[in-house]
Amino acid sequence: MGCLPGAEVKLIQRAPLQDPLYISVNGSHLAIRKEMASQIKITKL
């Protein structure tokens, strides 16, 4: 389970200390660290 190119990513929630981040990737919910989230490139459609 993870983020692949072309996946739809939405930020759902941030933890109280801003780490981890809770995201939705193509409908699946994931908790990832900010360091890993910084590697996701976002493009506007």
Q: Where are the domains of the chain?
A: 1-39
Cβ count near 32 (within 10 Å): 18
Residue 31 has pLDDT above 70, yes or no: yes
Q: Does 2 have pLDDT greater than 70?
A: no
> Which residue in 28, 25, 19 sits closest to 7, CA to CA?
25
Q: Tell me how far apart the alpha carbons of residues 7 and 17 are, in angstroms, rounded to a whole number.
A: 26
Query: What pLDDT does 20 receive?
Result: 94
pLDDT at residue number 1: 59
User: Under CATH, to which class is 1-39 assigned?
Assistant: mainly beta
pTM of the full structure: 0.73
